[in-house]
Structure 1
Amino acid sequence: MDLLPDLWRQEYWLPPGVTWEDLERLPDSERPRPKDLLIALPLALGFVAVRCVFERFLAPPIARSLGVKNRFQSTAAPSPQLESFYTHRSKQPTQSELANLMVLCGKTQRQVESWFRVRRNQDRPSQTKKFAEAAWRFFFYLSAFIAGLTSLINRPWFWDQRECWRNYPFQPLERAHFWYYMLELGFYGSLLLRISVDVKRKDFKEQVIHHLATIFLLSFSYCANYIRIGTLVMLLHDSSDILLESAKMFNYGAGWRKTCDSLFVVFAVVFLVTRLVIFPSRIIHTTLLLSMEVFEPFAGYYFFNVLLMVLQALHVFWAGLIIRMVCKFFKGKLEKDERSDEESDAEAEEEDKAKEEKMDQGGDCYWEKSKETLNSKLSVLTNSCVLTNLTYHRSSVANREHKAQ
């Protein structure tokens, strides 16, 4: 019971010598209050509802206009035993489990492996689902970036980061920045609510860490009145996310390869510059060093900078993926997003399917053809040996006759 009051101890949230009573000198409309964060909860649910409407009614016509089409996916043959194992045990059985399934179903190892591969491909999200998700993020990031830039471009701390700490923590909260914070919090909350049904990518764990770190970062910076530096962090992240989601949208469409490649190159440049250059040199440098010109370190100072470091570590991780994709791009081997869901592609599936039809489904026919081929080769070999022996015999007879003469 004493944990909650201890959590709000002023030395955790405010610089030394500043109390919560001191902040009450600001009018209620200009002072960030922790209870304001509760507004983000209904906003998150609202974003989920709006997104459902968007993906149901707006995304499909946009996808059709860009030529987005779902790939043909074959359906796994009905098999109650394999389906039960797939649903309740594992989608990728081990070697020992494969042996048990072979005995249980009376299938070969190749057939069982092929069934699981086709079944996993059935669960892969369609192109239209991927497009709808990318389009939703694109429109939000674009709207948030325009709104954030409009509300910040005339503010002094946008150009001079020392202004982020002038008169801290007695800085009035502007109404535009209040809603900027609440909408961003609500959006990232909605991403967490939908993360179990969204397209699952290779960096799923990193995405969860990113969303949680962002929510904690925004929540703490709001309560501690780090509003000015917080708005710069949000604007910086939205700038490159717009290009990423737009490149994905065109990647799923047919006939937009050059547009997608161009957007990807621009995104890579913007991401590397904003996340690996501007973020550490401007944002982290400001919070670590420039803030010390105004106040002494306190618990909130360390917590806030640790969260920024977590984000920076994720930036480095994603930068590695992007650089790999850029290298493949210039080598002409860039085919898909490095973060995309991984499974065997359609060509491999069709190749294996063709092999199975030859080896399993048409076993008798395949054996007869193989036997005929083997017999023909043996006959050729036999004839060759016979002809060689006859030729050798004739030459030896001729030699004997020549010597006798």
Structure 2
Amino acid sequence: MEIKDYLFYFLALVAFPISIYQGVKLREYVNYIKDEKPDCTHTNPQFLQLFFGTWVVIINFMIPVQFVAKSLFLKVLPQKKFPIGSSTRDTKAQIIAERVFRFFVYCGTSLALFWNLKQSNFMHKGLMGSEENPQYFTNYPCQQLPNFIDDLYVIKLSYHTFEMVYNCIAHRHRRDFSEFLLHHIITIALVGVSYCTNCLPVGTVIMLIMDGSDIFVALFKMCVDVNEIVQNVVFGIMASTWFYSRIYFFPIYVMKPFYDQAWFHEHPVAQPVARFLIVFLGILQVLNVFWFYLMITGLIRRLNVKKYKKDQIQFKVE
């Protein structure tokens, strides 16, 4: 294992029992909120249908999309780097096919989240919203929420749960499994706890930031080794949107205001839940920085390889 695997597995081992403990505490938090404000804490009557129905939709959509995409990329991948009939060509085509499926998922969820947030008063101007300083706890736990945001939250929780199960079954031998395992544990805990304790405003904003930037990551993975010009253009868009949304905007305009509003909140549920969410968001930000580091080092490595090949050709000519 690499050093980063030890770090991420350690963080996953720490995050998992904390998540379980927080899950046990949820009953206490939910009961308190229901006793305090019974009129605004109704359970989604379609929760089970949405949760398991999302799994059915994902599976029925994923299989044909990945099959078609893999068949296509098996034909267009460069033969020199990925010889026809080789396992590397098959693996590469499968990875790209998965990214095609995720591209459609991220596009759909980002559009739905953006449309819902445009109807709210907690979307920052930096995300094309209307607020300079969004307030995430106004009238907590009875914040005014846009229509369908509860349904979207359940769908997102179902999707991330499916992704964790799928990755543990199909991708446990990949080099990046450790960081994706940590990411899924953190994400499911954040989405689940925020949903049950009516912290949907900040949670929805974070979902939009993450899904919006993931669109271009999936698009870049689809272009790598297929078309160099398109690959370079998409890389620039991907790195720019990732830096703006996750490295710059997320910690400064989401995490810090959320900390200011929540860390010392007087509500007996908002404060402990918010502290848990902030700590886990901090771990999520470690992953964001790590993945941005991989983007930059990957670019540098490709430029060095390209320069080396150019020097070799020039040397042979001379």
* Structure 1 length-normalised TM: 0.60
Given candidates 250, 253, 274, the residue that maps to 2:245 is 274
Matches within 5 A, 1:384-403: none
Matched residue, 2:228: 257
* Counterpart code for 1:153: K
Give 3-state SS (helix, strand or coil) of 2:142's partner.
coil
Matched residue, 2:187: 214
Matched residue, 1:7: 25
CA distance in 1, matches of 2:56, 2:73: 25
- 1:219 deviation in Å? 0.5
Q: Which moved more, 1:289-298 or 1:315-324?
A: 289-298
Matched residue, 2:177: 204
Give 3-state SS (helix, strand or coil) of 1:151's partner.
helix
Structure 1, unaligned stretches of length 5 or more?
Answer: 75-120, 336-405
Judged with a 3 Å threshold, the aligned counterparts in structure 2 of structure 1 residues 140 and 318 are, in CA distance, closer, same or farther, namely: same
- Alpha-carbon deviations, 1:56-114, whole Å to 9, x = none? 2x4256547x823673268xxxxxxxxxxxxxxxxxxxxxxxxxxxxxxxxxxxxxxxx
Matches within 5 A, 1:317-328: 317-328=290-301
Matched residue, 2:63: 52
The answer to whether the 8 A contact 1:151-1:177 is kept is yes
Given candidates 285, 310, 316, the residue that maps to 2:289 is 316
Matches within 5 A, 1:323-338: 323-331=296-304, 333=306
Structure of greater Rg: 1
Given candidates 17, 25, 34, the residue that maps to 2:39 is 25
- 1:292 deviation in Å? 5.0
CA distance in 1, matches of 2:43, 2:280: 20
Given candidates 58, 65, 68, the residue that maps to 2:77 is 68
CA distance in 1, matches of 2:46, 2:35: 16
The answer to whether the 8 A contact 2:262-2:271 is kept is no
Give 3-state SS (helix, strand or coil) of 2:143's partner.
coil
CA distance in 2, matches of 1:5, 1:173: 24
- 1:45 deviation in Å? 4.3
- Alpha-carbon deviations, 1:248-268, whole Å to 9, x = none? 111142xx1111111112211
- 1:127 deviation in Å? 3.0
Structure 2, unaligned stretches of length 5 or more?
Answer: 1-20, 125-130, 309-318
CA distance in 2, matches of 1:269, 1:72: 33
CA distance in 1, matches of 2:46, 2:182: 24
- Alpha-carbon deviations, 1:8-65, whole Å to 9, x = none? 454x469xxx642223122x6xx45699378424423431332112222x4256547x
Q: What RMSD, in angstroms, separates the aligned Cα atoms of the two structures?
A: 3.3
Aligned-residue identity in percent: 22
* Counterpart code for 1:322: M
CA distance in 2, matches of 1:334, 1:142: 35
Judged with a 3 Å threshold, the aligned counterparts in structure 2 of structure 1 residues 312 and 43 are, in CA distance, closer, same or farther, namely: same
- 1:145 deviation in Å? 1.0
CA distance in 2, matches of 1:129, 1:201: 13
Given candidates 51, 54, 64, the residue that maps to 1:43 is 54
* Counterpart code for 2:38: E
- Alpha-carbon deviations, 1:221-258, whole Å to 9, x = none? 000111010110010011211111111111142xx111
